[in-house]
A and B are shown apart, each in its own frame.
Chain A
């Protein structure tokens, strides 16, 4: 069958020199160069994270690879300092992949068990939001990147495992986010508060203290209530803005805002 489509014309190249010598020359030059040192990095034996090796390669091949802090900023597997973790939940909150679970670790008191993040690297996207959000700097990302394993369950790193990584003193991602100076504070909607103490109980930094206040203005003729009313006072300089108090408040009387 003859196609009804017309064949598109092909113009002859206008200023081609009719030769193939230039590419042949370029390839030969590269050949001569790579006889001295090809750019390949023989991965398991030569590692880019080794600064000495980086310098060697940069000098030998003339390629400006890996000078400076290239590797130290890498976002790899997390290291967790369990001792300084305050169980504030911020990492789990900020995780876009929902791969962080807070699991109980030994060391807390029985009433308020200590909870530390456990990360499922099968889901993790290494965005670094968790270490950005960590107020104490105990969760940070290291240069470790080899995590292949035959079992899916081994992709879940418990806090203890990440603590082991921390103890290995790998280079940590040195870029830390400064917390903004004029951050929102947690404010109290006073009339709604019932003084239940939940916020002070659950505050990871213990910056909430309950102070006694008398019940405001008893009506004339009534005798003052026996019960002493309490009200949280938040120490802004200690507060890490984790919002735990807001989420445990039964009356929704705590909220974000600025002191006016």
Chain B
């Protein structure tokens, strides 16, 4: 059995585990050879691997941001726990884990606890959908991109729930802002994605990436990429669009009342979303796990090469987000709405028109690219 996909790996691990157990306890071998059990166990192993990979990546992303932001600010970032501070975030997480989580007296218990949990869970769901390499997911999801965006847009709802139920005026204002700004950037994001769909002819992220093997979409769809990345900044609630948690006026906004592990959920989920958002940018516009043709084929056919390529690109994209965070102030709510409605939507519409035009002529000779559409 060739271990080409993650599912194969999970299946191999699960069946191997069951085999070992049945050899140790022979009477159980009849039960354990049940095909459904193997399938179920491998699904669990699949999920566990995915969870571990995404969490470790998220924590590395936080480390990456801390180090990079440090250099932008003329300082060093975390540097004492582990090599170059690699373990600092684990230490921080452990500290938050040890802290007492408490609820304000008048807060609504259900919303207060369910909000962060749902926020965390829905953010992690993203990684079940995103393909990170050719052999990542076994089956094909024809609408995986739409699914990813739908999961992405859950978050403001849970933010609003937890903000409202924590019974704090700052939190409430933050939650309202989050809900208000959602519409402003969701629409342009979707329109920008439509341009990608037009040019690639598919809603499947796998197909979109494989369509980019000859030329990446950031050339023809530059406008759409700008709109999408800006929207993603707002979606991740990072500076300059972190209005819901604007610390100067709203004291961290919707997570004012949260402490300990509940706060860690919010923090972690924010970075999970940042990671997922950066991966989406890479998948849609920067060629995913493909490399330009002048890289030797031997390099790209190495095992795990696709994942490494995608991760390097993701971290670079995230680096640009960090750069923006280091250099720009926060905008105001009405300005964000204006940017969303007055700038981003026309730009994304223009990029759709451009994509249609591009599909019609199949190529822009100036870019020297080869058309791959039309089969």
Residues in chain A within 8 A of chain B (CB atoms) = 20, 23-24, 26-28, 30-31, 33-35, 38-40, 42
Bound together, the chains give a CA A33 to CA B328 distance in angstroms of 19
Segment from B50-58, B67-75, B216-224, B365-373 that makes contact with A:
B67-75
Roughly how many angstroms separate A24 CA and B239 CA in the complex, as a whole number? 13
A27 touches B326 (CB 8 A): yes
- Chain B residues with CB under 8 A of A38: 70-71, 74-76
The verdict on B150 contacting chain A, using a C-beta distance below 8 Å, is no
Q: Would B75 and A31 count as touching, CB distance under 8 A?
A: no
Q: How far is the CA of A30 from the CA of B76 in the complex (A)?
A: 13
* B353 part of interface (Cβ distance < 8 Å): no
A42 touching B71, Cβ below 8 Å = no
Report the minimum CB–CB distance from B88 to chain A (whole Å).
15
**Inside 8 A of B324's CB, which chain A residues have their CB?**
24
A-B contacts, 11 listed (Cβ < 8 Å): A24-B324, A28-B327, A30-B71, A30-B73, A31-B323, A34-B70, A34-B74, A38-B71, A38-B74, A39-B75, A42-B76
Nearest neighbor of B334 in chain A, beta-carbon distance: A10
In the complex, the answer to whether B74 meets A27 with C-beta atoms within 8 Å is no
Could you tell me the distance in whole angstroms from the C-beta of B329 to the nearest C-beta in chain A? Answer: 9
Cross-interface CB contact of B327 among A27, A39, A40, A42, cutoff 8 Å? A27
In the complex, the answer to whether B79 meets A42 with C-beta atoms within 8 Å is yes
- What is the minimal beta-carbon distance from B312 to any residue of chain A, in angstroms? 19
The count of chain B contact residues (Cβ–Cβ below 8 Å) is 14
- Please indicate which of the listed interface residues A27, A28, A35, A39 has the most CB atoms of chain B within 10 Å of its own CB: A27
Closest chain A residue to B70 by CB distance? A38
Smallest CB separation, B148 vs chain A (Å): 28
Q: Which of A31, A38, A39 has the most CB of B within 10 A?
A: A31
Quote the shortest CB–CB distance from B61 to chain A (angstroms).
18
Known contacts A28-B323, A42-B79: does B74 contact A20 (CB below 8 Å)?
no
Known contacts A23-B328, A30-B73, then 11 further A-B pairs from the complex at CB < 8 Å, ordered by chain A residue: A20-B327, A20-B328, A26-B327, A27-B323, A30-B74, A31-B71, A31-B72, A31-B323, A38-B71, A39-B74, A39-B75
Indicate the member of B71, B326, B327 with the most A CB atoms within 10 Å: B327
With a CB–CB cut-off of 8 A, which chain A residues contact B72?
27, 30-31, 34
Report chain A residues within 8 Å CB of B74: 30, 33-34, 38-40
